[in-house]
Amino acid sequence: MTAGGMPVAAEGTPVTFQRIAVIYNPASGRPRERAGLLERLAAPLRAAGRTVSICPTERPGHAAAIARAKAGEGYDLILAYGGDGTMNEALQGVVGTGAALGFWPGGTANVLAAEIRFPHRPEEVAERILAGRTQEVTVGRANDRYFLLMAGVGLDAAVAGAVDPELKRRFGKAAFAVAAMRFIWHWDLAPFVVHLEGEPPVVGRFVVAGNAHSYGGGFQFTPDASLTDPHLDVCIFTAETVGDYLAYVSAALMGLHRNLPGVVYRKVRSVTITAAADHKPLTQVDGEVVGELPVTLTALPRALRLLV
């Protein structure tokens, strides 16, 4: 048991979750459909004698506050329903509490769901909760922001920062394609400096620090990464031209980009990235822009118990 009285099982031992908090954004997707889906999840759990609290968010960042509060009240599973952004918000409130985190995919990309092969149907999600299988996983930290999947500086963060929220709500992944095409058309990829321990600094223009094999959109920028690996996989791209990056992203669909010129791939416990000259490239974590450089990315092994 943890200090808060929540069950923490040994690896591979099922956990009986007694109190489940489901966090969701009522403004996303189709509200009428969501109400039915939430009831289909809650009904079998309540029939099994479990307490289920449905917790809508009211503002950006609210999921973290709800997760932290519910964990403090003794809820032993925090289930984030939505996209990877909702998952990342809930993660901020769960790390360090002793509660487990679950992710019910209902967003645009759902990269974590693909990584752990988690179901979408509410009845199947309820079955996973009742089965209680969890895995201790590594959590990444970008300065003071946690991430579970990846952090990126340069190209992907610039595209994520340019996505129109209304287009994303209406058209999903297509909004990212529109933002990417606009970025390519105006091509302005600022350099930055990657400080690897025991090596000379590397000047890059796009870097992905992966905590998981999956990235999104079918890309495998960190194909050797794993949620249970105590390291982050860092892939640094140093080229400058549009043509080079088109080749990189094409090869990354098969995880073959590491063999191309201008690519540096390492496993690290920590890496610091600083701006070059007057440029201030953006940083994203789990698909959400969180600020400008500098950033230190750190792996925190076994920092979270994840429902699988």
Q: Into which CATH architecture does domain 145-301 fall? A: Sandwich (2.60)
CA angle 72, 77, 82 (to 5 degrees): 110
98 DSSP assignment: S
- The reply to whether 19-132 and 145-301 are identical in fold is no
Closest to 50 (Cα-Cα) out of 69, 25, 76: 76
With contact defined as beta carbons under 8 Å apart, do 212 and 227 qualify? yes
pLDDT at residue number 280: 83
Closest by CA to 176, choosing from 216, 204, 149, 148, is 216
pLDDT tens profile 167-217:
455 545 544 444 455 555 455 788 999 999 999 999 999 999 999 998 877
Angstrom distance (rounded) from CA 5 to CA 192 = 45
Q: What was the pLDDT predicted at 13?
A: 78
Rounded to whole angstroms, how far apart are CA atoms 109 and 180? 16
Residue type, position 229, single letter: D
Q: Where are the chain's structural domains?
A: 19-132, 145-301
Q: Across all residues in the chain, what is the average pLDDT? A: 87
Overall fold of domain 19-132: Rossmann fold (3.40.50)
Report how far apart the first and last C-alpha atoms of the chain are (Å, whole number). Answer: 20
Number of Cβ within a 10 Å radius of residue 203: 11
Q: What is the pLDDT of residues 57-81, one digit of tens each?
A: 999 899 999 999 999 999 999 999 9
Residues 95 and 300: their CA atoms lie apart, in Å, by 10
For residue 277, name the pLDDT band (cuts at 50, 70, 90). confident
What predicted TM-score, i.e. pTM, was given to this entire model?
A: 0.88
